[in-house]
């Protein structure tokens, strides 16, 4: 009996040791505690940024195991631009966490919900990876200003934008600053500003005498103080001294395109101030004629080539060597060159044919978003191509060998609009009321945006300045910019230059070359004022006919 007891004890000990050994060889491992999915107001979060987040979102995050609720407070952070957001937690089931802010979030703002590995399951497993959910809140759809008629809204935009060129101008020269945040004055933008001053008289923002005085100040400054280069002005000028401010190292001389934008405005002023008895108006017209006569367009052919060259410098000659070829924003340069009353300075048709038109090389003819584009790059390029030269040149019914220019500009604007509506880049905020790609400020710089070079930046000038071509689409955008985004982009000089609803950025600056087309093209849409003035110039009519243009505005 004793032997049996001893044997049994030995067996039990051996069995226990074997069991203990097996247990050590195969430890029990709990299942990982993983993030599974998240929804925002019922829509699944796919990673990246979640756009159009409601201002009172309901965020449900699901996990692979039941949550230890006592660890939630220390593991979840809901952060925004103004700091941490106070939230309430609830639990739809033991593996899901519901997060709700206690007060509405700010519209058009970035927020991040972070769940750290401090969150644990009821089995005391730590969350395997940190969860980050990026939210971009929706636009506040309420009107930021009282509703007014479309006509009153157009007048308001004209008047507020006019302020850039009137109260925001350089005190000494009267010329327009390149941008509101800088001091140097700009040649082309000042030409646009002169046209804007004529709108100011038309709309009773200022008197005729006030406009005459300011434009006379500009013309006297250009005549007596500004350094010229074979009659052409530089891009940037010191408003106090008239000295050239280099646009770049080698661009420290004449800019024939910027000069043409200035002359476009001056010729409109010459036609507007048409009194035969007022000595000041007579004197202004004479001074404008002298400035035009002095510009040697032939010099900018660079030794007789059949193409114009953009820049010339006394130090660097034509070293930049950028040819002015179509299709781009510079058609006005060839029109003014061919129309010059100074026969020695005027260019012949072959320069237009070989240079600008590239013997037909500017033609496109392809269809984009259902619109045939006669000229230019794929999808039309930035919209300022359809604006700068056509502040004065009236494209209605205008044709030559290469295109009907109303068809060209309208197709360009429609393609830009339809591209933004289609939004192949999936940028936040693009819609049939929020569109327009052109050259503008971007975050940290400046770029020419277009359907083939789109980074999500909308410039109000693009849609607004296209009003003659796309009246319904442009007016819809203008209403949206003012009523819905007005608290973000409406300021002392009208609409700021640009904004980005994907990265949530709103510019705080204004540019002359973007503000100018807005006021001018709104007025061209409303009354045709600048078109009528420019196209009434006898030399313009003669010059455009010599290049092969025809149309109802070229008798």
Locate CATH 1.50.10.140 in the chain.
Answer: 150-546
457, 442 Cβ separation under 8 angstroms: yes
Instruction: For residue range 489-544, list pLDDT tens digits in order.
Output: 999 999 999 999 999 999 999 999 999 999 999 999 999 999 999 999 999 999 99
Split at pLDDT 50, 70, 90, the class of 2 is very low
Predicted confidence (pLDDT) at residue 18 exceeds the cutoff of 90: no
How distant, in Å, are the alpha carbons of 384, 438, 490, 525 from that of 161?
17, 18, 10, 16
* 22 vs 322, more confident: 322
pLDDT, mean of residues 158-166: 98
Residue spans in the chain of domains classed CATH 2.60.40.3710: 35-137
Q: What is the mean pLDDT of residues 223-248?
A: 98
Q: Which pLDDT score, from 0 to 100, does residue 3 have? A: 44
Confirm if 152 and 121 have CB atoms less than 8 A apart.
no
Tell me the average pLDDT across 470-494.
98
pLDDT single digits (tens) 91-127: 999 999 999 999 999 999 999 999 999 999 999 999 9
What's the mean pLDDT in 251-259?
98
CATH class of 35-137: mainly beta
Express each pLDDT in 425-470 by its tens digit. Answer: 999 999 999 999 999 999 999 999 999 999 999 999 999 999 999 9
What pLDDT does 486 receive?
98
Q: How far apart are CA 210 and CA 215, in angstroms?
A: 9
Q: Is the pLDDT of residue 15 over 70?
A: no
CATH number of this structure's domain 150-546: 1.50.10.140
Q: Is residue 6 pLDDT above 80, yes or no?
A: no
Q: For a pLDDT cut of 90, what percent of the chain falls above it?
A: 94
Predicted pLDDT at 371:
98
**9 pLDDT above the threshold of 70:** no
pLDDT at position 11: 39
Q: What is the mean pLDDT of residues 352-365?
A: 98
What pLDDT is recorded for position 472?
98
> What does the DSSP assignment read for 280-332?
HHHHHHHHHHHHHHH--TTGGGTTT-SS-BSEEBTTTBTTT--B--SSSS-HH
What would the mean pLDDT of 326-350 be, rounded to a whole number?
Answer: 98
- Does residue 16 carry a pLDDT above 70? no
> Strand 494-495 vs strand 490-491: parallel, antiparallel, or unpaired?
antiparallel
**pLDDT for the residue 29:** 52
pLDDT at res. 21: 47
Tell me what pLDDT residue 81 has.
83
CA gap 372, 364 in Å, rounded: 9
| Least-confidence region, from 6-10, 77-81, 169-173, 477-481 | 6-10
Residue 82 pLDDT? 84
* Mean pLDDT of the chain, nearest integer: 95
Which residues contact residue 547 at a Cβ distance below 8 angstroms, ignoring those fewer than 6 apart? 334, 335, 338, 349, 352, 400
Give CA–CA dist 86/442, Å, rounded: 33
Q: How far apart are CA 419 and CA 49, in angstroms?
A: 22
What mean pLDDT comes out for the span 74-96? 95
* Residue carrying the six token digits 């500003």: 193
Mean pLDDT of 350-365: 98
């Amino acid at each position: 009996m004793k032997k049996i007891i001893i044997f049994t004890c030995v067996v039990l000990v051996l069995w226990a040791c074997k069991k203990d050994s097996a247990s050590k060889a195969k430890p029990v491992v709990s299942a990982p505690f993983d993030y599974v999915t998240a929804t925002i107001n019922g829509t699944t979060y796919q990673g990246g940024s979640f756009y159009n987040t409601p201002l009172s979102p309901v965020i449900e995050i699901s996990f692979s195991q039941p949550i230890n609720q006592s660890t939630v407070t220390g593991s979840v952070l809901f952060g925004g631009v103004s700091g941490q957001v106070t939230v309430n937690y609830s639990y739809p089931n033991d593996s899901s966490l519901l997060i709700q802010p206690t007060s509405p979030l700010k519209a058009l703002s970035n927020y991040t919900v972070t769940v750290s590995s401090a969150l644990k399951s009821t089995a005391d497993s730590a969350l395997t990876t940190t969860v980050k959910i990026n939210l971009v809140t929706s636009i506040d759809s309420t009107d930021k200003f009282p509703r007014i008629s479309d006509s009153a809204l157009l007048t308001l935009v004209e008047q507020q934008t006019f302020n850039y060129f009137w109260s925001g101008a350089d005190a000494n020269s009267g010329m327009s600053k390149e941008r509101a945040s800088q001091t140097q004055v700009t040649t082309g933008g000042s030409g646009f500003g002169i046209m804007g001053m004529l709108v100011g008289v038309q709309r009773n923002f200022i008197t005729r005498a006030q406009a005459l005085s300011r434009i006379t100040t500009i013309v006297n400054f250009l005549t007596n103080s500004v350094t010229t280069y074979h009659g052409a002005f530089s891009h940037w000028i010191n408003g106090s001294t008239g000295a050239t401010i280099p646009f770049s190292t080698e661009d420290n001389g004449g800019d024939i395109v910027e000069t043409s934008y200035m002359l476009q405005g001056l010729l409109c002023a010459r036609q507007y101030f048409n009194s035969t008895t007022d000595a000041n108006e007579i004197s202004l017209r004479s001074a404008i004629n002298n400035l035009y006569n002095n510009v040697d367009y032939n010099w900018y052919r660079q030794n007789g080539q059949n193409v114009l060259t953009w820049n010339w410098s006394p130090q660097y000659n034509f070293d930049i060597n950028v040819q002015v070829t179509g299709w781009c924003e510079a058609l006005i340069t060839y029109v003014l060159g061919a129309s010059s009353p100074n026969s020695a300075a005027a260019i012949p048709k072959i320069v237009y044919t070989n240079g600008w038109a590239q013997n037909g090389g500017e033609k496109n003819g392809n269809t984009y978003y259902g619109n045939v584009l006669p000229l230019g790059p794929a999808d039309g390029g930035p919209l300022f191509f359809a604006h700068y030269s056509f502040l004065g040149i009236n494209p209605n019914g205008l044709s030559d060998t290469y295109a009907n220019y109303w068809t060209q500009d309208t197709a360009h604007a429609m393609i830009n609009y339809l591209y933004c509506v289609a939004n192949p880049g999936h940028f936040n905020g693009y819609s049939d009321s929020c569109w327009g790609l052109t050259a503008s400020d971007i975050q940290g710089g400046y770029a020419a945006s277009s359907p083939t070079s789109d980074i999500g930046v909308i410039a109000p000038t693009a849609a607004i300045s296209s009003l003659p071509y796309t009246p319904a689409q442009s007016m819809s955008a203008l209403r949206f910019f003012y009523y819905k985004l007005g608290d973000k982009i409406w300021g002392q000089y009208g609409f700021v230059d640009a904004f980005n609803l994907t990265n949530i950025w709103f510019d705080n600056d204004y540019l002359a070359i973007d503000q100018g087309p807005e006021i001018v093209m709104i007025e061209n849409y409303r009354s045709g004022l600048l078109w009528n003035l420019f196209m009434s110039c006898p030399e313009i009519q003669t010059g455009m006919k010599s290049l092969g243009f025809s149309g109802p505005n070229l008798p």
